[in-house]
Structure 1
Amino acid sequence: MHTIEPIGTIHTPYKEKFAIPRQPNLAPDVITELHLIGEANNEASVRELEQFSHLWLLFLFDQNIEAGWKPTVRPPRLGGNKRVGVFASRSTFRPNAIGMSAVELKSVEIKGGNVVVKLGNVDLVHGTPIIDIKPYIPYSDAIADARAGYAEQSPQTKPVVFRPQALDVLQKSPDSEYRQLALQQILSQDPRPAYKQKQSDNKSYTVQLFDWDVSFEAIEERIEVTTIKPLA
């Protein structure tokens, strides 16, 4: 029996599972950091890594392990109603709770003797344990004529608008332009349950992003950010 130890943890704006992009590359301008730990936290372990533009991250769905798994799941892309086999999905509830994402490599930095890998296109909750990093190799990993079954097309997005109170909070942030862009890319995917995404409702939803509670409503074909408040 081999025990897998994490080689790092991810630092992202996503403080909870709600509103995380359902796949990498759906919020491309959101920057995250991978902090290496233990024996992997060694400058030699990332030597020549910056030759590659993209990486594969292997990680643990650590928040789901105790919940176990089932042989079939309901993918959001099928409206959350139809069941498919767990291995025909990217469900977070899996036999070994292992996930994999292709992400963009922004830079590799050494901060106070610690290795920090800056990444884009990450779809992971803050604190997710990373168990391996592998270079993305275009000639072998990108397959031009691959079929994607029920996920053939990229998901549709909705315009995101900010009400005055929310916009006021945004504009007072030192990195307001970046945060506004990030919120637009994240919320444009309509994080509500799949069965609600084709309809308006009168419910307010709140998601934890950055150091904020961000509340929004789905009105007709747009997402309206109603309030932004500091995390409690």
Structure 2
Amino acid sequence: MDNSAQTSELLNNLQHQLRVARNEIKNLRQQVINLKYKHKTDVEEIENVLKEFPNFKCQDPVEPYQCEFPHFHSIGKIETWFAEKRGIPRQGAICKESQGVLTLTTTDINNSSYALIGLEEFSHMWIIYHFHNTTSNHVRTKVAPPRLNGARVGVFSTRSPHRPCPIGLSLVKIDKIVENKIYFSGADMMDGTPVLDIKPYIPQYDNPNSMSVENDRKVEGAIIEEDSSAAVGCNRDAAENREAPDGEEAVKIPSWIQNAGSKKLKVEFSKKGLSQLQESVDEEKIRKTIIRVLEEDPRSVYLKGKLGGQFYTFSISDLHITCKFDDANQTVTIYQVQPGTQMCECGTPDWQCGVHYKRQLD
């Protein structure tokens, strides 16, 4: 009898390991498919870049391809108490007790439960969904919200489900997550509603009241040094150390957001970069935007490892910015702020010419 039980237990363990192995093989196959697709798109992108070189055979201008929006499909469906449109709360905050369950059913990912790892550390999330049961084919430019007692306003100043693009957005409280199911409170959608996406609610980003006034003052009061650069101090005190405002005491976010390990970088302008910036229209707004972008380090983890201390370029408005990161000293220096339309002597835009543009930076 003991041998039979041991054999049965061993068989169950082997079957479990076999299921795990099959899932891993399935994941690896999907990764291979994704890599093949990525390789194909990368090759096409390189070919397109090569075609734009000045020495490439001139071609007649082609009308830009007018593409429609891609077809979006749902990642899952919602179960709620509301089988009909009539009686559904207009907002989740009106009826926080109403329950809902979102079940992920998308086939785009192999294991839906893996896609939810980490979401349990948040207390709230945004649900983006389709108003799938709107019956009217005609969208009015003005609607009459219930609170206005018949007065009409533009549809885009309301949350009416009768919209040109019938997309809904709701903020709900996460109660628990079990495998591929998210149980939440504050449901204000119809039973069977298809979901397009979900995103965690982060008050530091989603609530305008959480924006750091202190950081604004530091950017506005930046001191331009008289040596080779203009330094801007960058700390993240106010946004992270503030107390939760009324109504947000129950909001929970992960520690990796609340106590982010990465500090803001120190942004410096070289004399040349600062001089070029001062020639631009809306100099102050452009300067603040450049600082805000760079102090948060826009590079991906991949680019940090691949490029290291090489020049990093990006565009803001009609300007092309060239900078270099110093990861050891947590600084980034801006060397060039040039109009994106400025042409090089070889006939290409200045910032696209690898030979002459690098010579200008030296």
* TM score, norm. by length of structure 1: 0.57
The answer as to 2:200 corresponding to 1:135 is yes
User: What residue in structure 2 maps to residue 45 of structure 1?
Assistant: 115
- Structure with greater contact order relative to length (CA < 8 Å, sep ≥ 6): 1
* Letter aligned with residue 178 of structure 2: E
| The one of 20, 27, 49 aligned to 2:88 | 20
What residue number does 1:215 align with? none
Moved over 6 A (4+): none
Within 2, Cα distance between the matches of 1:87 and 1:75? 12
SS at match of 1:117: strand
How many residue pairs match? The answer is 140
Deviations 1:181-216 (A, max 9, x none): xxxxxxxxxxxxxxxxxxxxxxxxxxxxxxxxxxxx
Name which of structure 1's ranges 93-102 and 34-43 shifts more when overlaid on structure 2: 34-43
What is the aligned partner in structure 2 of residue 103 from structure 1?
172
Structure 1 stretches lacking a partner, 5+ long: 146-232
Partner of 1:89: 158
Mapped to 2, the partners of 1:66 and 1:27 lie a distance apart of 26
What are the ranges of 5 or more consecutive residues in structure 2 without an aligned counterpart?
1-67, 211-362
Paired residues of 2:92 and 2:172 also in contact (CA < 8 A):
yes
Q: Which amino acid aligns with 2:142?
A: T
Question: Aligned partners of 2:135, 2:196: CA distance in 1, in Å?
Answer: 15
Q: Deviations over 1:86-113 (max 9, x none)?
A: 0010001001100100110111102xxx
Aligned-partner SS, 2:115: helix
Q: Which residue of 2 aligns with 1:125?
A: 190
**Which position in structure 2 is the counterpart of 1:159?**
none
What is the CA–CA distance in structure 1 between the aligned matches of 2:148 and 2:129, rounded to whole Å?
Answer: 25
1:75 aligns with 2:145: yes
Task: Please give the residue correspondences for 1:27-66 in structure 2 after superposition, counting only pairs within 5 Å.
Answer: 27-39=95-107, 40=109, 42-64=112-134
Shift of 1:65: 5.8
Contact 2:126–2:170, Cα closer than 8 Å, also in 1? yes
Query: Secondary structure of the residue that 1:104 maps to in structure 2?
Result: strand
- 1:132 is displaced (CA, Å) by 0.3
Higher helix residue share = 2
Please give the TM-score of this superposition, normalised by the length of structure 2: 0.37
2:181 equivalent in structure 1 = 116
> Which digits, 9 at most, give the CA deviation of each residue in 1:45-99, with x for residues without a partner?
11101111000000001111653311110101101x1110000100010011001
Q: Which has the higher strand share?
A: 1
| 1:13 partner letter | W
The residue number in structure 1 matching 2:226 is: none
Measured after TM superposition, the shift of residue 42 of structure 1 is 1.2
Distance 1:125 1:16 in 2: 7
Alignment partner of 1:101: what SS? strand
Q: CA deviation at 1:143?
A: 3.0
CA distance in 1 between counterparts of 2:145 and 2:136 reads 20
Is this contact kept in 2: 1:71–1:85, CA < 8 A? Answer: yes
Cα RMSD for the two superposed structures: 1.6
Whole-angstrom CA distance in 1 between matches of 2:127 and 2:76: 11
Deviates more, 1:94-103 or 1:63-72: 63-72
